[in-house]
Structure 1
Amino acid sequence: MYPLLHAQSPEYGPELRASLARLAPAFHFTPELVAQLARQYAGEAHLDDPVAFPGNANSAFPCQLPSTFVLNADEDELHASGEEFGRQLRNAGVHVDMGAQPHMYHGCLDDTSLPAAHSAIATMANWLTDALRAATLP
């Protein structure tokens, strides 16, 4: 949930722009902040490293990944990175299940008072349970 998969923010679509307009300034991850976080996380020399940022990888890397579930917070700038990575995986032939948790912001899973946080955790757990069952059945 709310992955940072690119060292620079992908373009925001109109739906994401509309949902971000509802956010308080403290919840925004501007493109400049994302770039700063990327440099702090990986260092300037590793911004193109697909291990640090799989969304920056060349076309050969994503096709090596297993089936993937991407759940984005609806009101989070990092949603754009999650959506773009899902498209990259699909274009590489990887099975992707992708969704958006409505009216949720970055870090929402930390707030256990939010029913939507419980719903998101249950959604992720169910997907993982199903994927593991499918992988272990004869």
Structure 2
Amino acid sequence: MTKTHPRHTLHPQLAERIRKVPGKPAEDLTARDFDPLTEPYGPHEDWELAIDDREVPGPETPIPVRVYRPAEPASSPRPCLVWMHGGAWVGGDLDMPEAHETARGVAGRADAVVVSVDYRLCSAEVRFPAPHDDVLAAYRWVRDHAADLGIDPARIAVGGASAGGNLAAGAALRLRDEGETPWQALLIYPLVHAPLPEPSDELAAALAKLPPPFRLPTEYLDQVFDPYLGDVPIEAAPPYAFPGLAKDLSGFPPTYIDNDEFDYLRSSGELFTDQLRSAGVDVEQALSTGALHGHLNLVGLDTAHATLDRMADRLRKR
């Protein structure tokens, strides 16, 4: 695979929007301050899909899922992606672009079925392994209902973005251990290590070019883990919570990892790529140049479309 050499230049559309965000430190900003960044960059894509909201059995409560299927009948069972949105384990839902637009875009491009999972979000009452257990239950429901969903049970992938990528990777690791290895894993800007690995010199140089609102203090990054782990210290986190801590990754499913160029979490995605390769896993890595963390939430951005193209290509051709 040809190595991508970053230029450390923000995507021009992103750079234009970033100039509209108040130039305050990240800890002083509110979600409303970032509204200019998340407004659509282009029209929503038009796909002929049947979209169905369901509830599937969960370990404690029913799990809402949304099933996306191409409207045209298929001559043979389709591949499937079980998909998890991000949101730092505490936010996000089936309607956010990273869930809805990603599922629509992949299903349409790949002529595949996508099942988007509304796992339990962490709170004072909900901690790991609750969301992890929900993902496992949803994956197994999809596999057990493959015929009803029109999918090939041998071609069910797991995938997710950011915290959803963490959950997808953790589920893949546990399924491997229980003799149910998924077909493949699609991990988009995932966070799979705790603490976050130190950035390479190249990544540090990229992060240094970010405007002040996007420079995250170390204490903020450390706090991201608290709602997920609760009272469990980071050094005691189990591998299913952070798969990059696993001592043995051999037998992990073939994996696609897509990292953002200007993203603190890129250090985790890059290290996980190296770990998988060292374990003999078939892994493909892509770098979304010019992009900030979470680019699948930016509707109409060409960088998001390119990631969806690569994800769909994995489902079509693998």
Q: TM-score range by the shorter chain?
A: 0.7 to 0.9
Aligned to 2:226: 39
Structure 2 CA distance for aligned equivalents of residues 69 and 39 of structure 1: 28
| Residues 114 and 95 of structure 1: CA distance in aligned 2, closer, same or farther (over 3 Å) | same
Aligned to 1:57: 246
- Tell which structure's C-alpha radius of gyration is larger: 2
Answer whether contact 1:70 1:98 (CA < 8 A) is retained: yes
Q: Give the gaps of 5 or more residues in structure 1.
A: 132-138
Aligned to 1:135: none
Q: Does 1:120 align with 2:312?
A: no
Q: Please, what is the CA RMSD of the aligned residues?
A: 1.8
Answer whether contact 1:30 1:77 (CA < 8 A) is retained: no
| Residues 115 and 95 of structure 1: CA distance in aligned 2, closer, same or farther (over 3 Å) | same
Q: Deviations over 1:53-98 (max 9, x none)?
A: 101112x2x1131111111011101000000011111111111111
Structure 1 CA distance for aligned equivalents of residues 251 and 215 of structure 2: 32
Q: Give the gaps of 5 or more residues in structure 2.
A: 1-187
More helix by share: 1
| Residues 75 and 118 of structure 1: CA distance in aligned 2, closer, same or farther (over 3 Å) | same
Aligned to 2:262: 75
1:56 counterpart letter in structure 2: L
Q: Does 1:87 align with 2:274?
A: yes
Deviation of 1:33 after TM superposition, in Å, equals: 2.6
Moved more, 71-80 or 113-122: 113-122
| Residues 30 and 51 of structure 1: CA distance in aligned 2, closer, same or farther (over 3 Å) | farther
2:292 to 105, 109, 123: 105
Aligned to 2:195: 8
Moved more, 109-118 or 72-81: 109-118
Q: Deviations over 1:104-128 (max 9, x none)?
A: 1111111113211111121122123
> Given the two structures, how large is their TM-score scaled by the length of structure 2?
0.38
Answer whether contact 1:12 1:80 (CA < 8 A) is retained: yes
| Residues 85 and 19 of structure 1: CA distance in aligned 2, closer, same or farther (over 3 Å) | same
The secondary structure found in structure 1 opposite 2:210 is coil
2:279 counterpart letter in structure 1: A
Aligned residues: 129
Deviation of 1:29 after TM superposition, in Å, equals: 4.2
Which has the bigger relative contact order, CA under 8 A and spacing at least 6? 1
Structure 2 CA distance for aligned equivalents of residues 69 and 30 of structure 1: 29
Deviation of 1:103 after TM superposition, in Å, equals: 0.4
